[in-house]
Homo-oligomer: A and B are copies of this chain.
Amino acid sequence: MSAEPVQPTTAHNRRSELLAIAAGLFASKGFKNTTVRDIADAAGILSGSLYHHFDSKESMVDEILSTFQDELFGRYDAILLSDDDARTKLEQAVEVSFAAIDQHRDEVAIFQNEAAYLGGFERFAYLAERNAQSREVWITLLDDGVRSGALRSDLDIELTYRFLRDTVWVAVAWYRPGGKLAHTDIARQYLTILLDGIARPTPTTQGDTP
């Protein structure tokens, strides 16, 4: 008979519930622009009560971002270690990234928007490390692609890496789950554009998989 003001999250405890609420606000309003009172209001408690669960507002983003990144880079590592060919790996990395946008939209958005600012603080130095690690992943995939003949050899790899990375992640700005296109559809379309271009193919076909 007690109507508990609880949201339909699968959260075990109050802590992760509050983190999800904070993530949503950080993602849509920005970290600095979100006050602890905003978070508390959205959770239906007073701002001071947040400090029963967390040390600080900073530690909230910290936990949000580091948890997400641990998971994401675990998936990238799995791809790099697989036996697939270069092109397949590249496609998988793109798909994994779009899946992350689908399943962790807030976290991706926070990372996209706040990494530059937060990275300036000692506490968030790991953001720069993860960034470097991400570069390793993509550059490796692109190099392997060129070496194996799957990709054109006249590309500026560094530039291509930036376009690839940016184009994948920036989709978080407009993608909403449950829309017309599933994240898998978007990933496939993006890969088509990226791999084959938007210009009308000149004489011959786009290749089939042998």
Chain A residues in the interface with B (C-beta under 8 A): 28-30, 32-33, 85, 87, 113, 116-117, 145, 148-153, 155-156, 159-160, 162-163, 166-167, 170-171, 173-174, 181, 186, 189-190, 193-210
Contacts and interface: CB of A to CB of B under 8 A. Distances in A.
B170 A166 contact: yes
A160 B30 contact: no
Contacts of A193: 155, 160, 163, 194, 197
B166 A199 contact: no
- Most chain B CB within 10 A, of A30, A116, A198, is at A198
B210 A206 contact: yes
20 contacts: A30-B32, A33-B117, A116-B173, A148-B210, A151-B198, A151-B199, A152-B199, A153-B200, A159-B186, A159-B190, A163-B167, A163-B171, A166-B173, A167-B170, A193-B197, A195-B198, A196-B196, A196-B197, A202-B204, A202-B207
Contact of A33 (B32, B163, B196, B201): B32
Given A159-B181, A163-B171, 20 more contacts: A29-B117, A30-B117, A32-B33, A113-B113, A148-B210, A149-B200, A151-B199, A152-B198, A156-B189, A159-B189, A160-B193, A166-B166, A166-B167, A166-B173, A167-B167, A167-B170, A195-B198, A196-B197, A197-B197, A204-B204
